[in-house]
C-alpha cells in the first residue's frame, strides 16, 4: 500500500517537475522572442520614419500586453485552466483598477497625448512648475530632461489635464527684453544703440521686423521694449548676447542704468 502511494507521489512529482521545466523553458523562449520581435518590428518602423513619440508609447504598451499573454501561456502549461485564469485575472483587474484609479487616468492621459499630439519627443515644454525636453512618452508617464540635466517623471494625467506651453512647436520664437535707462537719457540714442546691436547680430531674423520702442515711463526709469525673432536653437544665446552688448554700449555712451536707491534722513530729537 505504501509502495503504491510513494509510486503515485513519485509519478506526480516527476510530472510536476517536467511541467515546471517546460514552463521555465516557455518563459525563457517567450521572453527572448518578445525582445527579438520588438527589435525587428521597431527597426522596420524606424526605416519608415516612425514618430519617436509613438515608438516609446507603443513599446511600453506592447511589452506589457505581450508579457501578460506569456504569463497566461506559461501558467496554462503547468495545468491551470485558462478559463479559470482569465476569470481570476478579470476579478483581479477590477480590484486593481479600483485601487489604482490614478494609474488608469495616467494611461488615459497617455492615449490622449498620442491622439492629439500637443507635443512630441524632442520638444521643449512647460506644464505647471515643470519644464524640460521630452525624452519619452510612456503609457503612464512622460519623461523630461530639464535644462540643468535633471530627469523629471511627469504623470500623463497631469499633462493631459493641465495647460501645456510648447516652446518648440514652431521653428522660430520671439525674444522680448526690457531695458531700463535713466530719465536724463537721450531716447533716440538708446534706440539707435539697440537697433545697431540687433542689425549686426546674425541670429536675428529680418522677418518679422524687429521692434524697439519706448514701452513705459517707470517710477525711476525709461523702459524700452526690444522684440526680435530667432530660431529656437538660438534663443538663449541671442538673449545673453544682446543683454551683454547693450550694457557695454550703454557704458560707452554714458547712458545710466538706474538701480534702487534709498535716501535716509536723520533728525536730531
Q: Edge to edge, what strands does the sheet with 222-231 contain?
A: 172-181, 222-231, 211-217
Query: Considering the domain boundaries, does residue 128 fall inside one?
Result: yes
Give the pLDDT of residue 123.
92
Same-domain check for residues 66 and 114: no
Query: Considering the domain boundaries, does residue 231 fall inside one?
Result: yes
Would you say residue 146 has pLDDT above 70?
Answer: yes
Query: Considering the domain boundaries, does residue 259 fall inside one?
Result: no
The pLDDT tens digits for 202-219 are: 999 999 999 999 999 988
- CATH code, domain carrying 214: 3.30.70.100
Same-domain check for residues 13 and 84: yes
- CATH code, domain carrying 145: 2.30.30.60
The pLDDT tens digits for 19-58 are: 777 778 878 887 878 788 777 776 766 666 666 666 666 6
Query: Considering the domain boundaries, does residue 268 fall inside one?
Result: no
Claim: this prediction has a pTM higher than 0.85: no
Same-domain check for residues 120 and 191: no
Encode burial over 181-213: b for 16+ CB neighbours within 10 A, e otherwise. Answer: beeebeeeebeebbeebbeebebbeeeeebebe
Same-domain check for residues 179 and 206: yes
Give the pLDDT of residue 90.
65
Query: Considering the domain boundaries, does residue 224 fall inside one?
Result: yes
Same-domain check for residues 176 and 197: yes
Regarding predicted confidence, which is higher, 219 or 249? 249
Query: Considering the domain boundaries, does residue 269 fall inside one?
Result: no
* Mean pLDDT (whole number) for 72-91: 65
Query: Considering the domain boundaries, does residue 258 fall inside one?
Result: no
The pLDDT tens digits for 164-185 are: 999 988 899 999 999 999 999 9
Q: Count of domains in the chain? A: 3
- CATH code, domain carrying 95: 1.10.287
Look at 56-60, 115-119, 168-172, 244-248 and tell me which has the smallest mean pLDDT. Answer: 56-60
Give the pLDDT of residue 193.
96
Residue 210's domain comprises 172-252
Give the pLDDT of residue 65.
77
Give the pLDDT of residue 7.
56
> Which of 106, 35, 96, 21 has its CA nearest to residue 66?
35
* Mean pLDDT (whole number) for 133-144: 90
Same-domain check for residues 12 and 95: yes
Confidence of residue 145 (pLDDT cuts 50, 70, 90): very high
Same-domain check for residues 89 and 64: yes
Query: Considering the domain boundaries, does residue 20 fall inside one?
Result: yes
Give the pLDDT of residue 189.
95
Confidence of residue 269 (pLDDT cuts 50, 70, 90): low
Regarding predicted confidence, which is higher, 269 or 43? 43
Same-domain check for residues 198 and 135: no
Helix orientation angle between 82-99 and 101-116, rounded to the nearest 10 degrees = 90
Same-domain check for residues 91 and 118: no
- Number of Cα atoms under 13 Å in the Cβ half of residue 64: 9
Amino acid at each position: 500500500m505504501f509502495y503504491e502511494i510513494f509510486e503515485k507521489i513519485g509519478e506526480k512529482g516527476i510530472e510536476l517537475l517536467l511541467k515546471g521545466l517546460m514552463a521555465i523553458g516557455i518563459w525563457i523562449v517567450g521572453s527572448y522572442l518578445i525582445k527579438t520581435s520588438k527589435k525587428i518590428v521597431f527597426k522596420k518602423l524606424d526605416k519608415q520614419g516612425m514618430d519617436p513619440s509613438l515608438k516609446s508609447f507603443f513599446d511600453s504598451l506592447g511589452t506589457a500586453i505581450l508579457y501578460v499573454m506569456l504569463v497566461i501561456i506559461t501558467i496554462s502549461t503547468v495545468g491551470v485552466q485558462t478559463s479559470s485564469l482569465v476569470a481570476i485575472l478579470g476579478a483581479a483587474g477590477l480590484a486593481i483598477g479600483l485601487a489604482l484609479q490614478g494609474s488608469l487616468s495616467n494611461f488615459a492621459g497617455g492615449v490622449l497625448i498620442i491622439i492629439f499630439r500637443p507635443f512630441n519627443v524632442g520638444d521643449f515644454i512647460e506644464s505647471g512648475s515643470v519644464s524640460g525636453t521630452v525624452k519619452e512618452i510612456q503609457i503612464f508617464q512622460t519623461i523630461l530632461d530639464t535644462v540643468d540635466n535633471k530627469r523629471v517623471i511627469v504623470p500623463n494625467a497631469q499633462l493631459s489635464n493641465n495647460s501645456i506651453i510648447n516652446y518648440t512647436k514652431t521653428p522660430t520664437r520671439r525674444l522680448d527684453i526690457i531695458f531700463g535707462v535713466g530719465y536724463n537719457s537721450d531716447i533716440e540714442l538708446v534706440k539707435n544703440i539697440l537697433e545697431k546691436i540687433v542689425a549686426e547680430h546674425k541670429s536675428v531674423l529680418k522677418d518679422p521686423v524687429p521692434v524697439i520702442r519706448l514701452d513705459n515711463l517707470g517710477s525711476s526709469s525709461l523702459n524700452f521694449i526690444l522684440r526680435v525673432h530667432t530660431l529656437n536653437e538660438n534663443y538663449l544665446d541671442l538673449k545673453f548676447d544682446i543683454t551683454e552688448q547693450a550694457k557695454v554700449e550703454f557704458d560707452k555712451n554714458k547712458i545710466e542704468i538706474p538701480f534702487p536707491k534709498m535716501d535716509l534722513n536723520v533728525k536730531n530729537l
